[in-house]
Each structure stands twice: as C-alpha cells, then as structure tokens.
Amino acid sequence: METRTFRKILIANRGEIALRVMRSCRAMGIETVAVYSEADAHAPHVRFAGEAVHLGAAPAKESYLRIEKIIDAAERTGADAIHPGYGFLSENAEFAESCAAAGVVFIGPPPTAIQAMGLKSSARRLAAEAGAPVVPGYDGEDQSVETLRAQMIEIGFPVLIKASAGGGGKGMRVVRTKNAVDEAVGSARREAEKAFGDGSLLLEKYVEGARHVEVQILGDAHGNLVHLFERDCSLQRRHQKIVEESPSPAVNGELRRKMGDAAVNIGRAIGYTNAGTVEFILAPSGEFYFIEVNTRLQVEHPVTEMITGLDLVRLQIEIAEGRPLTCAQADLKTEGHAIEARLYAEDPANDFLPSTGKILDLQLPMTEGVRIDAGVECGMEVGIHYDPMLAKLIAHGENRDAAIRKLVYALRQSSIQGLRTNREFLIRLVDHQGFRQGRAHTGFIAERLDELIADDDPRLDRDSLIAVALYLQNQWQTSDGLLSELPPSYRNNPYRDPSIRFQIGSDEVEVSWRQTGSSGYEARVFDSTVTAQVLSCGPDRVRIEIDGVQRSFKVTEVGDELYVHSSLGARVIKRPPRHPVSQASSEQGSANSPMPGKVLKILVEVGQKVTAGDPLIILEAMKMEHTMRAALDGIVEEVLVSDGEVVGPGQLLVKITDTL
Ligand code: MV4
C-alpha cells in the first residue's frame, strides 16, 4: 500500500462535525473544502473552510445527499479525499465506491465493509461467525405479517423490531403483546421504507433494562486493528443518544477485555479499516450481545478522545493516507473519565418536539477540562431541515464524579436564547442520583420522565417572573411612556398596583408590584410578597436582589416569549397572546400540529369513536414520525387535512367533539 500525503480534504457534511473535521485538517496543514445547501449559505462551516461549493436546495436529498454533486465539487477544487462525517452519506457504500471511481479517497472503511454491516442480517451472521454473542432473533426473507407474528411468538415477547437496512433506531419498535404486532410492524415498515427505501425487518428478543455499550475500533490498511475501549450510551430517548461516557460504569477490566476482543474479532473478520464502532447491549445479568456495527465516526467520539488523548479524525486521515497505526493495543491507556451531553433544539415540556428559531444569544462556557463542539452561532436560524443538535458539551475529570460535576457546571453556565432547548432536562438528567450512581439503562429516561421534566426549584419560576416583570416595567419607563408599547394585560391605574399576566409552563400567573423607593419594589406572585431591589437594568439584562441575594437575569424577547436565564436556571415566560386564539385551534381534545411537518397517514375517519390516546394522524417532521393522539374520548367530527399535506405549527388537523 502506497502512502499519500493529502493536501486538501472536502468535508461532505455540515454543522459541528464539519467544523470538527476541519479543525484536525487545519492542525495537520491540510486545506479544506466545505459543501453547503441553500439553507447553510451563511453557516459557520462554510466560513471556516478554505473553499466552499454550493450543492443545492435545503432538503438533504437535494444537497448533502447528492453524490454526483459532491464528487464534482471535489474534482473542481482538487480535493484528494472526502471526509463524510456522520449521517448523510457516511455509511453509503455507493458513495464510497463513487469516490474511488473518481480517484478521490473516501476517509472511511472499504465499501465492502460498509455494505456488509449496512444490512443488520448479514452483520449478525458475520458477528456470530467471528465468535461474538448475538441475541436470539429472526432475520429471514419472508416478511409477511403472519410470519413475523409467528416468529415473535417463537422468540417470546418482548420482541424488538428493527429495520434490517437501518440504524439509529429508525423503524425500531418494542412489541410486548400479540395485539400490538400489526400496528408496530406497519409503522416500523413505513418508517424503514421512508428512511432507507427498504422495509425489510429483523426481529430480536428485546433485552430489558440493558445498557448500550459500544467499542471504538480503529484499523489500518496494514492489518493492524485495535480497540479504543468502550463508551456507555445508555441514556437515550426514542433511540436518540443524549449522554455518553467512558469508561462505562458497568464494565470492569475483565468485561472490557472480552468486549474489546469481540469487537476486534468482528473487525478482522470483515477486513475493517479506519474508525468504526461495534455496538453491544449489556444485559443486567452481565451478558453482552452484538447488535450492530457503525462504519463511521460517531457523534460521541470526543468522549474516547478525551480519555485516550488521541485525535480520531487525525488518525482517520492518516489511515486513509495509507500510514500504519503507530499504537499497539498494549500501548493504549485511558486517563480519567469523560462524559458528553448533547444540547438539542427541542422542547422537553412539549414532548421533545424540535424547536426552530433564531439563536439570539449563545453563551457556551470556556472551562478547563470541558470541550465544546458546537455547530451553531449567535444569529443563526435553526430550521427544520437538519438534525436539531446544537452542540456537544464534553467534560473530562479525574474520575466519574469529577466529570459529572464539571458537566453539570458547564451546562448551568450555558445559555441559549431564541429557541427551546433541552438544557434544563440535561442538567436534571446528569445530576440525577440514579445516573450519578451509575444505574442508567436504556429505559432510564422513559421511567423517570416526569421527574426529569418537573421544576424542582420554586425560586426559579418566582424570581424569573419577578425579574421579567421588573425588566419590562423598566423598559417601558425608559421608552418615554409610549402607550402603544404596553401590552394589553398591563394595567396602571391609581386604584391598583401595576400588574402583568404571564404564562409559565402551562400556568397563567399574575405578577404585581409596588415601587417602594427609587429602585426598591414589593412584588407579588404566587400569593407571596417579595422585596426586590433593581440594581441595574440594560437592554437584555436586569440585575436584581431578592431575599438578600443578587443575581443577573438575562432576558431576550422573541415575539410574545421572554427567555430568562440566571444562576437559578432558564425559563421561557410568555406574555398572554395579543390576539385571542382562534376558536378551532383551542378546541379541547382536537389535534393540532405542534410543528411544521407533513401528513404521512390519517388513521381515523369522520364519525369514528376514539378513546384518549388513540392514534389519529402520523406526521413526519425532522425526518421522524410523530403520532398525534386523541387527548380525550370523543367522536371525530372533521379531518381537516389530507395525505401528504404540509402543515404549519398550530394547524388544526382533526376536530374531535367529546362525548360526555
Ligand atoms: C436492542 C436492545 C435490546 N435488545 N436490541 C437501540 C439503538 C440500536 N443501535 C440498538 N438498540 C437497542 N437494541 C435488543 N435485542 C436495546 C436497544 C436500545 C434501546 C431500546 C429501546 C429503547 C431505548 C434503547 C436505548 C439503547 C439501546
């Protein structure tokens, strides 16, 4: 194998991973080429690269998934190699082949390895042949519902349906009873067909209470293959990883050796080169089973980098250049503990629906031992076209407790205003006693969802409301009493204290106050009276002393929403709507679209009786299926949309009249 020295690499991706790859390129003295879609014309990855080539319209199918346009961009810029990042074309064997055909090096494994691992059925067989344990299951050709049902009974419930062609949880469904088979098979198949163009399904015994533990492998073109230990990714929600760490608190030295050996044996059996990940599930009994191989650099790779001190992208590039690995397994050591949390643009209080909007303020802390891989910047519009991950925060500490404490601190210091994020949810999750004790498993979040979404510090709501009220009052005072600036809810007459109504979470609250001095106030909220002192008030910040403690509250207004961030936490407070909500969209029990999306399937007809929780409509948004369900028992009075229709946020989809 001849060795080459790349001068220029095209990064066929966007967001944080494009920036991440470019950082290693820069450090190695390699020129970079970005590609971008219409929506990303001003994205940071475009500006960070030496050159940039426009691909097409915003939808990935018309831009980041266009093989011929990307190859053409590489040829036009004279790139020696293409790094695919993760997602998009990273696990597309045809893309890897097209690169080779065009004389551009694909930075990743050989197309044959991608192909072999791309189908879960063949991956399972190869892993078993390589001596790795696999879960009892069915991966046959016959895909009829009858056969699948019979196989499930044979395997024994609970069974996990997986899309043969897929990964990352798309098309995955847990089936617990015979009655649930039809709906699960139907929706899994639709999702798989939609996402992969292949609806074939695989069945596996569902291992409950398991942990998701994966092993990072690295192979060169000279037959050297090592593993870089494990990552524990047990904290997931709807198959979306949220928190990852290494070492796994559930893996001891002996198990680490066994899993590492199994991963390396699988890698050898398929002639694996470059970076890859072998996923296992670790049962509560301590048994582990192979589930799949990811033939790409993973989102959570920084966790491995922080404990090994290695630069995985640099190693990927060197391997693609044909250089041999310089580290043998015995040389590889880890130091301390690393944990990553993924910050998403989503609203945990609203079923984690993706949130869109403009980032009006972004503060991510610079703390020793904390790495931040972000793909967004202040002023950027976060839309519906791509993954809603905003940034990864990765903390490294001398042990697990130290890493957790640092991560919580970094999260608390982070502030994102202009759209909803899962920041508070992440703080509660990482700070949760069960997680701290290392007891996380794949069902952990679902089991504790209420605790993780609830607000625990009553001062957060109370003080945020007071801060916002006094902030607004100061804004109005300094805006020269322009009456048009006042919201309809604001009252100021001689017989009453000024007050404003707000919505916080699902509650409506009134805050009223009385000025007691030049900067002193007595504020009333939640039936309690609080003495507050406004120390300073700027255009986006108010500093207030309440109960003898001074705090700054950062306030950002977005329409009727106010984003408030302080050391107590972050809250979104709404001013009451200026226009009354239309009758139709506020009807009890009727289903409204929570976000922009597309109607995939209508499951009910006019006149049909429904029970609370029944599925009404399947919506596709952010590339995922979302099932809209009936909020109460009733009768479908009207279906206001049709198959394939594009719907806006708040749009009424199905009207239900209750049958009381
Ligand atoms: C499993 C499993 C239990 N049993 N397979 C999810 C992601 C994908 N890469 C593999 N996954 C799993 N496969 C069997 N046979 C558990 C998971 C799993 C999971 C399942 C349901 C809900 C959350 C989960 C989180 C991590 C892993």
* Tens digit of each residue's pLDDT (9 = 90 or more) over 171-190: 899 999 999 999 999 999 99
Taking the chain, what is the end-to-end CA distance rounded to the nearest angstrom?
76
Distance CA 178, CA 150 (A): 10
What are the tens digits of pLDDT across the range 554-575? 999 888 899 999 999 999 999 8
Range in 321-330, 431-440, 496-505 the model is least confident about: 496-505
Radius of gyration of the chain (CA): 27
Q: Which residues pair with 50 in a beta bridge?
A: none
Residues 6+ apart with CB under 8 A from 550: 535, 543, 544
Q: Which amino acid, one-letter code, is at 164?
A: S
At how many degrees (to 10) do helices 400-413 and 423-430 cross? 160
Q: What is residue 495's predicted lDDT score, i.e. its pLDDT?
A: 55
CB of 282 closer than 6 angstroms to any ligand 1 atom: no
CB of 291 closer than 6 angstroms to any ligand 1 atom: yes
How far does the centroid of ligand 1 lie from the alpha carbon of residue 212, in Å? 7
Whether the per-residue pLDDT at 232 is higher than 70: the answer is yes
How far does the centroid of ligand 1 lie from the alpha carbon of residue 384, in Å? 26
Q: What is residue 634's predicted lDDT score, i.e. its pLDDT?
A: 85
Whether the per-residue pLDDT at 509 is higher than 70: the answer is yes
Strands (E), 108-210: 137-138, 159-163, 173-175, 201-205
CB of 280 closer than 6 angstroms to any ligand 1 atom: no
Whether the per-residue pLDDT at 652 is higher than 80: the answer is no
Q: What is residue 91's predicted lDDT score, i.e. its pLDDT?
A: 96
CB of 281 closer than 6 angstroms to any ligand 1 atom: yes
What are the tens digits of pLDDT across the range 341-366? 999 999 998 899 999 999 999 999 99
CB of 463 closer than 6 angstroms to any ligand 1 atom: no
What share of the chain in percent tops pLDDT 90? 75
How far does the centroid of ligand 1 lie from the alpha carbon of residue 210, in Å? 8
DSSP string, 336-391: SEEEEEEEESEEGGGTTEE--EE--EEE----TTEEEEE---TT-EE-SSS--EEE
User: From the alpha carbon of 236, which atom of ligand 1 is closest?
Assistant: 25
Q: What is residue 357's predicted lDDT score, i.e. its pLDDT?
A: 93
Confidence of residue 301 (pLDDT cuts 50, 70, 90): very high
How far does the centroid of ligand 1 lie from the alpha carbon of residue 117, in Å? 17
Q: Return the H-helix or E-strand segment holding 475.
A: helix 458-478
Distance CA 242, CA 16 (A): 16
Higher-confidence position of 551 and 582 = 551
Q: Which residues pair with 339 in a beta bridge?
A: 245, 395
Q: Which residues pair with 53 in a beta bridge?
A: 35
Question: Looking up tokens 């009424």, which residue turns up?
Answer: 652
What are the tens digits of pLDDT across the range 622-644? 667 778 888 778 888 889 899 98
Average per-residue pLDDT for the chain: 91
Range in 55-64, 191-200, 492-501 the model is least confident about: 492-501
Residue from 120, 206, 232, 299 to probe ligand 1 pocket by mutation (most atoms less than 8 Å from CB): 206
Question: Looking up tokens 């649930």, which residue turns up?
Answer: 180
What share of the chain in percent tops pLDDT 70? 92
Considering the entire predicted model, what is its pTM?
0.85
Exposure class string for 133-161: b at 16+ Cβ within 10 A, else e: eebebbbeeeeeeeebbebbeebeeebbb
pLDDT mean over 147-151:
96
Q: How long, in residues, is the chain?
A: 660
Specify whether the CB–CB gap between 302 and 338 falls below 8 A. Answer: yes
> Which pairs from 29-33 meet CB under 8 Å and 24+ separation?
30/6, 30/317, 31/7, 32/8, 33/8, 33/9, 33/73, 33/74, 33/77, 33/79
Specify whether the CB–CB gap between 133 and 262 falls below 8 A. Answer: yes
What is the token pair recorded at 559?
Answer: 């329409």
Q: What is residue 138's predicted lDDT score, i.e. its pLDDT?
A: 93
What are the tens digits of pLDDT across the range 432-484? 999 999 999 999 999 999 989 876 678 999 999 999 999 988 887 665 444 43
DSSP string, 75-126: HHHT-SEEE--SSTTTT-HHHHHHHHHTT-EESSS-HHHHHHHHSHHHHHHH
Q: Which residues pair with 395 in a beta bridge?
A: 339, 370
> Do the strands 105-106 and 81-83 form a parallel or antiparallel pair, or are they unpaired?
parallel
Helix (H) and strand (E) counts in the chain: 17, 39
Q: What is residue 488's predicted lDDT score, i.e. its pLDDT?
A: 43
DSSP string, 40-67: GTT-HHHHHSSEEEEEESSSGGGTTT-H
CB of 277 closer than 6 angstroms to any ligand 1 atom: no
Higher-confidence position of 492 and 313 = 313
Whether the per-residue pLDDT at 221 is higher than 90: the answer is yes
Q: What is residue 648's predicted lDDT score, i.e. its pLDDT?
A: 67
Residue from 239, 242, 298 to probe ligand 1 pocket by mutation (most atoms less than 8 Å from CB): 239
Q: What is residue 595's predicted lDDT score, i.e. its pLDDT?
A: 66
Hey, which residues are catalytic here?
296
Specify whether the CB–CB gap between 17 and 375 falls below 8 A. Answer: yes
pLDDT mean over 113-137:
93
CB of 88 closer than 6 angstroms to any ligand 1 atom: no
